[in-house]
Amino acid sequence: MKPLGVVAAALGLGLLVALGTWGAPVVAAPVRIGTNRWIGYEPLHAAAAEGKLPSHLQLVEYVSATQVLRAFENRDIDAAAVTLDEALSLSASTRDVALVAVLDVSHGGDAVIARPPRASLDQLAGARIAVEDTAVGHLMLRRALDRAHLSRDQVQVISLPVNDHVVKWDAGLDAVVTFEPIRSRLLALGGVEVFSSRDIPGEIVDVLVVRRSSLAARPTVRAELTRACFQARGWALSEPARFAGRAALRLKVTESEVSAQLEGVRLPTEEESQAQLRGALLETAKSTLSFVQGPGAPTEADARALFDQEGS
């Protein structure tokens, strides 16, 4: 048995470790969450601006989804808001990734915008169509062409990153596969929406993912992230004017534009999100696999690994 003085000293040392140097509380290590600009992620940013997120949850915005993926792979961030196909790609490249929540389902936020005089799907034959080289872009294009009874050989597909969609709009393009906020900007320039994610409900989904290694090191992270996501969602929907004001200030658009963009997504409840993760979303992921091309493309095994809750 240890002498009481030794036990007391040990307890005192433990207390000092717990409290930190000079008795200050230990501050939780930051959890860095990467996003790019998309209305479905905006509740998190607006809630952070309102002081409604825990200070150790730090949002990091990147110019593009490509940068978000690279940051995750380089371990510069701990979690990321990405499309489902991007989550599949991360599963294939790292296997150190787990699903946390469904953030939104696109319901008009992704669209095919045609340039007059083309004003309908059946006028896309022979068109020069720009699309970002992502699975979501190619899925939207395939679904639009299928609806128009056209094959890919009947159009000219041009790979174009989303940040060039507005810049190149007047450079001989006939249509663009794009998403908010570019969709609204092209409509304001006279574009005509001929197809959108409303026509393929439930197929384009955004999710929050986190490193499995982060979960292992800090088991509370999943609950913290889940709580933050759905508290932000609840606040945005319960105080739409306040949310629109915050988002408009950050995005440098009008409040009415924020409201219009928000109509292009569905923000699920926590219960709906968890139901999706346990069921139908895996089937959506499997159907998405054919649109993720190139070396190291994800497989069905990668999809199952992504959805594996036990590995978390």
| pLDDT tens, residue by residue, 120-144 | 999 999 999 999 877 788 889 999 9
Percentage of the chain beyond pLDDT 70 is 89
* Residues forming a β-bridge with 131: 159, 177
* Residues forming a β-bridge with 101: 208
Q: Which of 199, 226, 244 is the last residue of a domain?
A: 199
Report angle CA 257, 258, 261 to the nearest 5 degrees: 85
**170 and 87 in one domain?**
no
Per-residue CA distances from 42 to 133, 161, 174, 258, 268 (Å): 24, 21, 30, 10, 14
**94 and 223 in one domain?**
yes
The total number of residues written for the chain in this structure: 312
Q: Is 284 inside any structural domain?
A: yes
Q: Is 11 inside any structural domain?
A: no
pLDDT tens track for 53-66: 999 999 999 988 88
Under 8 Å between Cβ of 206 and 276? no
Question: What average pLDDT does the chain have?
Answer: 88
Mean pLDDT of 236-244: 96
Residue 301 sits in a domain whose CATH number is 3.40.190.10
**220 and 83 in one domain?**
yes
Banded model confidence at residue 190, pLDDT cuts 50, 70, 90 = very high
**285 and 147 in one domain?**
no
Q: Which of 170, 199, 228 is the last residue of a domain?
A: 199
Q: Is 193 inside any structural domain?
A: yes
Q: Is 4 inside any structural domain?
A: no
**217 and 162 in one domain?**
no
Cβ–Cβ contacts within 10 Å for residue 112, how many? 29
Q: Domain containing 297: what range?
A: 31-105+209-307
State residue 33's pLDDT score.
Answer: 98
State residue 7's pLDDT score.
Answer: 38
Helix (H, G, I), strand (E, B) or coil at 210: strand
**230 and 295 in one domain?**
yes
Under 8 Å between Cβ of 291 and 139? yes
Strands (E), the chain: 31-35, 57-61, 79-83, 98-106, 110-114, 128-131, 156-159, 175-179, 192-196, 205-210, 265-266
Q: Is 75 inside any structural domain?
A: yes
Residue 11 structure tokens: 């307890």
**231 and 274 in one domain?**
yes
Cβ contacts of 249 within 8 Å, gap of 6 or more? 49
Per-residue CA distances from 67 to 70, 80, 148, 247 (Å): 5, 11, 33, 22
The radius of gyration of the chain's CA atoms, rounded to the nearest angstrom, is 22
pLDDT tens track for 15-53: 344 444 444 555 568 999 999 989 999 999 999 999 999
**96 and 218 in one domain?**
yes
**137 and 179 in one domain?**
yes
Q: Is 13 inside any structural domain?
A: no
Mean pLDDT of 178-193: 93
Strands 205-210 and 98-106: antiparallel
Amino acid symbol at 38? W
State residue 312's pLDDT score.
Answer: 56
**230 and 266 in one domain?**
yes
Mean pLDDT of 247-257: 92
State residue 280's pLDDT score.
Answer: 87
What is 129-157 written as a DSSP string? Answer: EEE-SSHHHHHHHHHHHHHTT--GGGSEE
Which of 65-79, 237-251, 288-302 has the least mean pLDDT? Answer: 288-302
State residue 27's pLDDT score.
Answer: 56
Banded model confidence at residue 192, pLDDT cuts 50, 70, 90 = very high
**195 and 79 in one domain?**
no
Q: Is 251 inside any structural domain?
A: yes
Q: Which of 144, 177, 199 is the last residue of a domain?
A: 199
Cβ contacts of 192 within 8 Å, gap of 6 or more? 113, 114, 115, 116, 118, 119, 120
Q: Is 140 inside any structural domain?
A: yes
**183 and 118 in one domain?**
yes
The count of structural domains within the chain is 2
Per-residue CA distances from 178 to 22, 24, 117, 130 (Å): 54, 50, 19, 9
Which of 18-27, 52-61, 85-94, 270-279 has the least mean pLDDT? Answer: 18-27
